[in-house]
Every structure is written in C-alpha cells, then in structure tokens.
A and B are shown apart, each in its own frame.
Chain A
Amino acid sequence: MANLRDIRRRIKSVKNTSQITKAMQMVAATKMRRAQQSAIALRPYAGRLDDMAAHIYAHVGKDEVTHPLLQKRDVSGKTAVVVLTSEKGLCGPLNTNLMRDVLKNDDPSRVYVTVGRKGRQVLIRLKKNVIADFELNASPTFTDSKAISRFLLERFEKKEFDAVEIYYNRFINTLSQVPSRHPLVPIGAETLQVAKALGAAEHASNVAPKSEDRAKSDGPYNFEPDTLELLSKLLPYYVHLELYSKILESRASEHSARMVAMKSATDNAKQLVKDLTLEYNKARQASITNEILEISTAAMMMDQ
C-alpha cells in the first residue's frame, strides 16, 4: 500500500505549496497598489516642475535655449541602456520578455546600466559591457533613483556616451505589461510631454479654481539666479523624474505580474490536489475491493 501513502504525501505537499503561492499573491497585490499610489503621488511634483519650466520658457523663448541635455548628438554615437528588471523572480515571463527585447537591439557600441538582479545576471552571463549596476530596495525613494540618474548625467556630460535609453516594463493593466523602450537623454519633446501629461492629470482633477487665481497673479516673473542657470538646474530634474517614474512603473508591473503568476500557480495547485484526491480515492477503493476479494475467497475456502 506504499502507493496510497505516496499519494497522500503528495497531496499534502501540493496543498502547502498552494498556501505559499496564495500568500505571495496577496502580498504582491498590496505591493502593486502601493507602487501605483507612489506613481500617482508623483503627479503634483511633475505638474509644478512643468509650470516652472513653462515660466522660464515664456521668458527666454524656446529657441534660445541651448543646453547639452537638449541637444541631439551624432546618431552613430554610443548609447547607454538602462535595464530595469526585478530583483526577484517568480513573476512570470516579465524579465525574460524584457531581456529578449534588450538583446534584440543589442550591438557592440552599447553599454549597459542594470537596475535589478535579473537583468544583471543575463547581461553579465552574456559578457555584455555593463558599466554600472544598481540595486534598489523594495520601495525605492526619489533619492535612490536620483543617484542613478545623476550617475548617467555625469557620464553623459563627459561624453562617455551620447544617448541614454531605458528598457522597462510598461504597466498597461494588471493583466498586461509590455516591454518598452524610452529615450531618457537627450531630453526630447517626448520626455517634456510625458511630464506634462503626468502634470495634466493633476491639473484637471483639482486645480481648476486655482488656475484662475494664478492667471490673476500671472505677471512677469523674476528669476534667481538668471533664467539659463536656473534652467540648467531644472532640466536634470526632468531626467531624475523620468527615471523615477519609470522605476515606479516597472515596480507596479513586477508586482502585478507576480500576482497573476502566483494566482495561476495557486489555481494549478488546486487542480492538482483535485486530481490527486481522485487518484487517491480510486487507489483506496481498489485496495478495499482487493481486500474484500481476499476475505471472500478465504471464506469460500473455509466453507468447502
């Protein structure tokens, strides 16, 4: 009857596993909500930053502004690629899909900056040119992310590379995350617009009466120090902000992917328990039938 005991043991272990995956699913759901909340909390800041940039632009005129961060360099130049992956696995095909995208666009002139263990493992195994690796804790702060963007900006200024791109998992909804590429430096119209879109949501929701007030007080602005110096301090913040928002987004993606992966693991475990229980009952019934057969045979022998 070893078979019966084996099945029983398996059922128990599968049940245990399903409890763990169930717990992980719950945790991931909470973390995902938190990551989404931080992304929303970013909006007022982004909106204000845009306001300030707009005031400065209104003063100097967009065409006069020449800043190294805004200028496109030679297209054939080196590109630094920031790869945002998760620290932990168990989140379905999320990291694999992203890395496939990264490697598809790989060429020898690219240098890599990895954020997250999974991306680092792949790139180092393939002996790619990884110039820096950053680790972020479970809830990265703006200061954490700023360390990364500042590193990138410094190297960019020293012309060690001529452009920076981010690869990250874009959060569409809980069920789908899409590996995406986003140019970070030089700051293109796209980045300025993204911050604008982030800010617009905030403006639409609660600043309607205030913007009237502001229109009243909207006189000429003074700047201290002068506009160009201020702008050169402000522009890096677009990069800091952009990277931070992408980090938050890939966090939200990671947690929702993990939640979905863990949900299907739990469902699978449940199905497995069902199947095993059926098998167990069949085996049990078979053994009982056997026993009855034996007993009745023995009884018949006695009767004779």
Chain B
Amino acid sequence: MATLKLEIITPESKIFDDNVDEVLLPGSEGDMGILPKHENLVTDLKAGELRYKRNGQVETLAIGEGFAEITGDSVAVLTDAAVREADIDVQVAEEAVKRAEELLKSNTLEGEELEATQAALARSLAQIHIKRRHRG
C-alpha cells in the first residue's frame, strides 16, 4: 500500500520523520485529510492538532501555526512548535491556560505581547483538548 513520508520540522529540531498511511492537518481554512497520491499543495496551518495513522494506529500531536507542503508521496510540516500527545502534561497546559486568560483579562497587554499570549493560549488549549478527548 502506498504510504506518505511525513516530516514535522520545527526550528529547534526534526520532530518526526517516518512513513505513514494518512495525515490530518489543521489547515487555516479547515482541517484537511491527506492520503497518498494527493495533488501537490502548499498551505498554511493554524495552531491545532495534527493526526496521522501509522500501521493502523492513530497518533496525535499538538502543533503551533506553520506551513505544509504536500506532494503525492510526502507531507512536510513546518511549525513553530510540536508536542506529542504522550508528552503533553495536562496540568502544565491548564496552568498555562489560566495564566494566559488572566493576562488577557487584565487588559494590560498590547501589541505583540497580546498576540504572543493569544497564541500561547491557543497552543495550550489545543494540547488540553487532545489529551481530554483521548482520555475520556
């Protein structure tokens, strides 16, 4: 069966590099499922969850915003940050959410700080979301 070569690259490291059967990406205009022999595509991604199926098993990662380049036999994902589901610590993520929400509520942030906090909030929420669903 045809497979896709999935690469997940952050500026800090190459998180993932293996052949998978199927990838689900959080595209900026909606989630998209990628199967082998997909047409060539370049798109941007929003912070959310990336799922892939390897040997029949579905695994999930939380990723930040970024870009994806898709060809018939490969998917390259460039993102700011990526965390495997197993590595997500719900408590840490929840604390991060609380911190970010409080900061946003206090309205003292402006400009780049505001955006950075919002992005951090989205990332943490995505992480918690993944963990919750898979636990329950």
Contact = CB atoms under 8 A, between A and B. Distances in A.
Contact of A142 (B10, B112, B116): B10
A35 interface: no
Interface stretch (B11-19, B48-56, B87-95, B98-106): B11-19
A48 B27 CA distance: 18
Interface stretch (A164-172, A184-192, A211-219, A257-265): A211-219
A154 B113 CA distance: 11
A143 B42 contact: no
- The number of chain A residues touching the other chain, given as a range, is 35 or more
B74 to A, nearest CB: 8
Interface in A27-51: 38, 41-42, 44-45, 48-49, 51
- The number of chain B residues touching the other chain, given as a range, is 20 to 34
A202 B132 CA distance: 38
A249 B67 CA distance: 25
A59 to B, nearest CB: 9
Contacts of B40: 217-222
Interface core residue of B14, B39, B42, B76 (most chain A CB under 10 Å):
B42
B136 interface: no
**For the complex of A and B, 10 pairs with smallest distance between CB atoms:** A142-B11, A151-B112, A224-B43, A217-B71, A221-B40, A222-B41, A217-B72, A150-B112, A45-B11, A147-B116
Interface of A: 38, 41-42, 44-45, 48-49, 51-52, 55-56, 141-143, 146-147, 150-151, 154, 213-214, 217-225, 230, 233-234, 237, 241, 244
